[in-house]
Amino acid sequence: MRTTVKLTAAVAAAAALTLGLSACSAPSDTSSSGSSSKKGKDADPAAKLVVAASPTPHGDILNFVRDHLAEKAGLKLEVKEFNDYVLPNTATQNGEVDANFFQHKPYLDDFNKKNKTDIVPVVNVEIEPLGLYSEKVKKAGDLGSGATIAVPNDATNEGRALKLLADNGVIVLKDGVGAAAKLSDIKDDKGVKFTELEAAQIPSRLADVDAAVINGNFAIGHKLNPAKDAIALEKADGNPYANFLAVKKGNEADPRVQKLAKLLNSDEVKKFIEEKFSNGAVLPAFGAVKS
């Protein structure tokens, strides 16, 4: 039986509020999600592991693990899907879920700093190359003065987007800025105007702008084929933006988390990613997360 629970941002926010209210009630041995209240190495290995994820590709990968690998490994896995880049981390920090899978390290580092959270990566799983898309021009070089480009408004993905635009000659960044760029770091915008939006909103606004930089998971979620539809695509080789399994600090040794980490880096998952995302939108990127 499928146990995926799809939450929109609004519903998830309501769930987070409910969690906050329930935090004042008496403690028990079992959380509302069904997971053991014991965490870290002392967690009950037979308890359900609840993982927050973006629907695609993270939810797809986790659902494959749940449906084909988890039972044999003795893991009870539940997947909660969020169309949001904030709620999975707040839910992990608050204990609403046990782990999450949706983000890369630059984003997590920025999130922890701004929100005073202590979420840590466990193991890398995959990379989603960032792409530039347009319904109005055929190549990046056609984006001249007066063109409007939508970019993600979170610090790490915006910097990554600006680097992609610079690498393709759309703008010029100040020397040495790279993927940490901000709009103020643009040396020459060549007359281009920027619209900053939440990453999840950008695909639905593509028709409203001349071009948009879209995260891989949201691109494929809106039926865009990065290999065919992107007019510029981030290179995967040496890409530091691998997406990983993450937990609240102190829960890395949870035996359920360790089981899931091993399964996510298995040959079966590698084959699943390569076959399901044969368009190159998602690539396996297994191994330890570099500090």
H helix or E strand, kind and range, residue 73: helix 70-73
- Tell me what pLDDT residue 237 has: 66
- Tens of pLDDT, residues 121-146: 999 999 988 999 999 999 999 999 99
Is it the case that residue 245 has pLDDT exceeding 60?
yes
Q: CA quadruple 70, 76, 82, 85: dihedral positive or negative?
A: negative
In CATH, what number does 131-233 get?
A: 3.40.190.10
Here the tokens at position 153 are: 């408004």
Here the tokens at position 160 are: 């990554």
**Every domain of the chain and the residues it spans:** 5-129+240-287, 131-233
5-129+240-287 against 131-233: fold identical: yes
More confident residue, 234 or 101: 101
- Asked whether 241 and 282 are in contact (CB, 8 A), the reply is no
Here the tokens at position 113 are: 């700093």
Assign domain 5-129+240-287 to its CATH superfamily: Periplasmic binding protein-like II (3.40.190.10)
Is it the case that residue 21 has pLDDT exceeding 50?
no
- pTM greater than 0.85: no
- Tell me what pLDDT residue 8 has: 39
- Asked whether 239 and 127 are in contact (CB, 8 A), the reply is yes
